[in-house]
Chains A and B, each alone.
Chain A
Amino acid sequence: MEFFQQLLNALSLGAIYALIALGFTMVYGVLRFINFAHSDVFMIGAVVGSLLGNHLPLGTWWGGLVCLLGAMAVCALLGVIIERVAYRPLRNSPRLNVLITAIGVSLLIEYLFQNEHVFGAAPRSFPAVFPSIVWQWQGLTLSSSQLIVIGVALVLVVALELIVYRTRIGTAMRAVSLNPRAAQLVGINPNVVVTFTFALGSALAGAGGVLYALNYQSVEPLMGVMPGLKAFVAAVLGGIGSIPGAALGGLLIGGIETFIGGSQFSTYKDAIAFALLILILLFRPTGLLGRRIPEKV
């Protein structure tokens, strides 16, 4: 039973990592850089969720959904703005410039939100917008919030899969990711694809932020840093650029962290995730599901 309990915990933590990792991997797929500000979009998702939650009735399904969708919408818009303002002017600069800019944007958001007129550095409690029910069965404890996390993540991943493989804009995303130049020559506007990718990835991060805050019942400006880094490891583990890889990587990192956290080595649970990053980069830089990009002639 202990094992199943841990598995359940692993699944709900892994689902959140997967949601964030998807954004990292999608942006990498079309622009080949790591958007470090993604972790902060995740945090803003939680902040927006808590602000909305304070004006919504607590413990209802519709209230919870409004809170979730509202946070996703705000984050989608924010992601688009960040790309427009900070990254697009650097589209033709060396990747390193964009990477450093991303770190700058990340720090800017983190310290802006620590200002007491914006949000403040102290953690605030997250309103219980969804109904909270706890089921007990044969020593297994299942809370509705865990179920919501897993359920929402599942729905979003399936929706994303459908968008990417079944729609016109999804096809354009894949084309840009495979070969940006050829994509332009068949008439795809890369700017539209990039904007859409940022909106989609940021909406997922926003959902992840609300779900994370729901589980831990607290919000603070630096809350995105650790989950963001772990999701980055998850994206690399799964194979950066690969959507199924990001989902798998998220679940694996969630699993590793939960099971190590429950063992005698619990102090090392964070260290192990990053040790894993070093090992992947050394021995399998393409990750589990990543493809080696063929050298172009």
Chain B
Amino acid sequence: MLSVTDLSVAYGAIQAVNGISFEIPRGAIVTLIGGNGAGKTTTLQTISGLIRPRAGSIRFNGEEITRLAPHEIVARGLCHVPEGRLVFANLSVAENLALGAYLQKDKAVIERTREHIFTLFPRLKERLKQAAGTLSGGEQQMLAIGRALMGQPTFLMLDEPSLGIAPRLVSTIFEKIVEINRVEGLTILLVEQNAHLALEVSSHAYVLETGQNKVSGPSAELRDDPRLKAAYLGG
């Protein structure tokens, strides 16, 4: 569904991503893992059009999207839940969700999606009128995922959904991520520092290290890979 070929991204003279390639089949959860500065976030930002790559190609459903602007990519059903969540802090939960449906025209579909998001995350319904900036980290993450779902995506990219969130909520959020994938058939690209968690929910993983992909394979195999154990899984 998404294929990235020889992608290279640089910030000035600093090479953040250096010729990585990966393939994400429809219906899968695939994860990119790696330490700080490995280029995971840069990769997602490049796919969603926020950053222009130096070289390489990104194809979504067979279409070349490498040079498209972010709003054009969202319109094709590829939504990005960014690192740090980036909710509209001064706007209410309801307004944040409404903005998520910015490109949607059908009122009935919007309403149905909203109700669906409330069954996934009942907490959001309780906080509907509250300013998003006053929510807890976990609730903001739920809102960020909900906002992305409002855009009727077929492909979801999640950047560090566990970052800065109470451990109790992390498992809730990961359960929901799996549910979104299983029940609704959304394809998911997950970037995560918590490699244990990421390998548990995903079917396939790519390990990034200083902008390069050296190790990849089925998640179940990588869990026992000695190279990963030493570096990311705490031995």
A residues near B (Cβ < 8 Å) are 168, 171-172, 174-175, 178-179, 181-189, 291, 294, 296-297
Contact = CB atoms under 8 A, between A and B. Distances in A.
Contact of B102 (A172, A181, A291): A172
Contacts of A291: 90
Contacts of B84: 296-297
Interface of B: 48-50, 69-71, 74-75, 79-80, 82, 84, 86-91, 98-100, 102-103, 133, 147-148, 150-151, 164
Nearest to B137: A297
Contacts of B103: 186-187
22 contacts: A168-B102, A174-B91, A175-B99, A175-B102, A178-B90, A179-B86, A181-B50, A182-B87, A183-B99, A184-B49, A185-B79, A185-B80, A185-B86, A186-B74, A186-B150, A187-B70, A187-B74, A187-B103, A188-B99, A189-B71, A297-B84, A297-B164
B48 A185 contact: yes
Nearest to B74: A187
Nearest to A185: B80
A33 B30 CA distance: 41
Contacts of B90: 178, 291
Given A185-B86, A296-B84, 15 more contacts: A172-B102, A175-B102, A178-B90, A179-B86, A181-B86, A182-B87, A183-B99, A184-B50, A185-B82, A186-B99, A186-B100, A186-B147, A187-B75, A187-B151, A297-B164
Contacts of A175: 88, 91, 99, 102
Contact of A182 (B82, B133, B150, B164): B82
A188 B88 contact: no
Given A172-B102, A186-B151, A188-B102, A294 B89 contact: yes
Contact of B99 (A171, A296, A297): A171
Contacts of A189: 69, 71
Nearest to A168: B102
A181 B74 CA distance: 13
B88 A179 contact: yes
B81 to A, nearest CB: 8
Contacts of B89: 178-179, 294
Contacts of B82: 181-182, 185
B94 to A, nearest CB: 12
Nearest to B80: A185
5 closest Cβ pairs, A-B complex: A187-B74, A184-B70, A182-B86, A187-B103, A189-B71
A186 B102 contact: yes
Contacts of B150: 186
B187 to A, nearest CB: 17
B91 A178 contact: yes
B88 A182 contact: yes
A174 B99 CA distance: 10
B96 to A, nearest CB: 9
A59 B103 CA distance: 47
Nearest to B164: A297
A100 to B, nearest CB: 22
B75 A178 contact: no
A172 B151 CA distance: 15
Contacts of A183: 99
A59 B69 CA distance: 51
A297 B144 CA distance: 15
A187 B90 CA distance: 19
A185 B100 CA distance: 9
B54 to A, nearest CB: 15
A189 B68 CA distance: 12
A294 B87 CA distance: 12
Nearest to B133: A294
Nearest to A184: B70
A123 B103 CA distance: 50
B62 to A, nearest CB: 21
Contacts of A184: 49-50, 69-71, 74
A188 B79 CA distance: 13
A187 B71 contact: yes
B71 to A, nearest CB: 5
A153 B133 CA distance: 34
A291 B150 CA distance: 28
Contacts of B164: 297
- A179, A182, A296 — which one has the most chain B CB atoms within 10 A of its CB? A182
A175 B79 CA distance: 17
Contacts of A178: 88-91
Contacts of A171: 98-99, 102
A297 B85 CA distance: 10
B77 to A, nearest CB: 11
A131 B4 CA distance: 68
